[in-house]
Amino acid sequence: MSNYTFPEGFKWGTATASYQIEGAVNEDGRGPSIWDTFSHTPGKIEDGSTGDVTCDHYHRYKEDVALMKEMGIRNYRFSISWSRILPSGKGEINRKGLDFYKALTSELLNAGITPHATLFHWDLPQALQDAGGWAARETAYHFRDYVEIVTRELGESIRNWMTHNEPWVHSMVGHFQGDHAPGLKDLKTALQTAHHMLLGHGLAIPVIRKNSQGARIGIVNNLEWIEPASSGIRDREAAARHDGAYNRWYLDPLYFGTYPRDMMEWYGSDAPKIEAGDMKIISTPMDFLGVNYYTRRIIAHDSQGNFLKCRQVRYPFMRPSDYEEWENNAEGLYRLLVRLKEDYENPELLITENGTPLPDEVGADGEVHDPDRIDFLYRHIGAAWQAIADGVDLKGYFAWSFMDNYEWCLGFTKRFGLIYTDYESGQRIIKDSGRWYSELCRSGTLHLPES
């Protein structure tokens, strides 16, 4: 069978995030965020670049929305920059920041595109970091207050809300590995950060419900399919620990109101401080889970390995083009989706990110030919179709990313977009994958790519 039709109403979309695309970091009253500080610190970003200009979406948003419309993309996931709305993270509101997101939202709605807004995609106002960041409990309450302002102002035009993007990345990569802002390296701080992010998520839900009638609310987690490198007990235990730290730590509190017991024991004195009532707030019912899927991992025990005493195994069958340790494995997506159905009571799911970075170039014909991305998308979207056929409550798919953009500590060295961004001129060029995806958005039927 080479054709797969998705259910009526399935949401096809693309995704971006504020610091990765907006630029205009010093305009219209925006305050500094931790990513401004981090990217301007020598040695932190692979190519030494910053998000000061990036895709200049702040000035070009009309052109970008027009491109989305031209491509037949009917859903757009973007994030709101906290420090555009509240330059110091709390206190005085910057109306011009709100005006930008209002203008973007109207442009989308006028183009027939449904907005899906993420409230926190890692760009914490620097002033809040100076006061302790997410490791400080008050930040969860400042987040709730920021969400109150945003949803009071935008709650009628936006009805799809995501509290956080990838709390694992922000807590662990930003506070334990030190590769993302704010660049800290302490496990206890990272786990406390994660706890307060989840607390902020739970605190925000009733606020969004009050201000945005009929809203669909969720959180976005980065999740992986994890397999042990062998059937030996030590590898199986190592894989369970990796799964515990990466997947279950950010799912069990939401669905069961508890942290996984095995991981609480493993973390011991590094485990977060939890106050009475926190877990009830964190497990406030939500409407959907956003799943960002990029890879599976094969995990082996390693007594010299990381804090989990494990390491990732790279197999010879992984293609050289597989991005660093990210294996292109669509079956992992299928298995992950089925696992979420079985272990977490068949929650409503959205694939909120999925994509692959490739060394795209503009050809002599002025076009960008990226057959490997089409192959990646075809396989992963096929896996999504199979999961739906097997009873997974998957309601939508958002490709990462709408356009090439600033890839955090990797700067501009990775291109994930369906649209090529020329960072010198600002020109956008729809890649072959963009045209292919556009056809899928219009028809809702997955066709085998032409070879």
Which residues are known to be catalytic?
A: 166, 353
**What are the residues facing 79 on neighbouring strands?**
118
Supply the minimum distance, in Å, between the C-beta of residue 231 and ligand IFM.
31
In whole angstroms, give the CA distance from residue 309 to residue 237: 10
Supply the minimum distance, in Å, between the C-beta of residue 70 and ligand IFM.
24
Burial class of residue 369 in the structure, from the number of CB atoms within 10 Å of its CB (0-12 exposed, 13-18 middle, 19+ buried)? middle
Supply the minimum distance, in Å, between the C-beta of residue 442 and ligand IFM.
26
In whole angstroms, give the CA distance from residue 123 to residue 314: 32
Supply the minimum distance, in Å, between the C-beta of residue 17 and ligand IFM.
5
Supply the minimum distance, in Å, between the C-beta of residue 450 and ligand IFM.
27
Query: What is the 3-state composition of the chain as percent helix, strand, coil, each rounded to the nearest 5?
Result: 40, 15, 40
For residue 205, which of 315, 134, 284, 151 has the smallest C-alpha distance? 284
Q: Give the Å distances, CA to CA, from 142 to 89, 116, 338.
A: 7, 22, 36
Q: Is 413 left (phi over 0), alpha (psi -120 to 50) or beta?
A: alpha
Residue 332 in 3-state DSSP?
A: helix
Supply the minimum distance, in Å, between the C-beta of residue 400 and ligand IFM.
6
In whole angstroms, give the CA distance from residue 163 to residue 433: 29
Supply the minimum distance, in Å, between the C-beta of residue 118 and ligand IFM.
10
Residue whose CB is less far from ligand IFM, 292 or 433: 292
Helices 95-110 and 138-154: crossing angle in degrees, nearest 10, is: 50
Token readout for 3 is: 């054709």
Residue whose CB is less far from ligand IFM, 101 or 400: 400
Token readout for 392 is: 């997974």
Asked if 176 contacts 258 with a C-beta cutoff of 8 angstroms, the reply is: no
Question: Cα–chain-centroid distance for residue 144?
Answer: 20
Token readout for 331 is: 């079956």
CA-atom Rg of the chain in angstroms? 21
Question: Which residues here bind ligand IFM, judged by CB under 6 A?
Answer: 17, 20, 166, 292, 353, 400, 407, 416
Asked if 208 contacts 145 with a C-beta cutoff of 8 angstroms, the reply is: no
Residue closest to ligand IFM, measured at CB = 17
Residue whose CB is less far from ligand IFM, 90 or 121: 121
Supply the minimum distance, in Å, between the C-beta of residue 165 and ligand IFM.
6
Determine the number of helices (DSSP H) and then strands (DSSP E) in the chain.
16, 15
Location of structure tokens 């020109």:
427
Asked if 420 contacts 357 with a C-beta cutoff of 8 angstroms, the reply is: no
Q: Give the Å distances, CA to CA, from 375 to 265, 294, 356, 358, 405.
A: 42, 14, 10, 12, 21
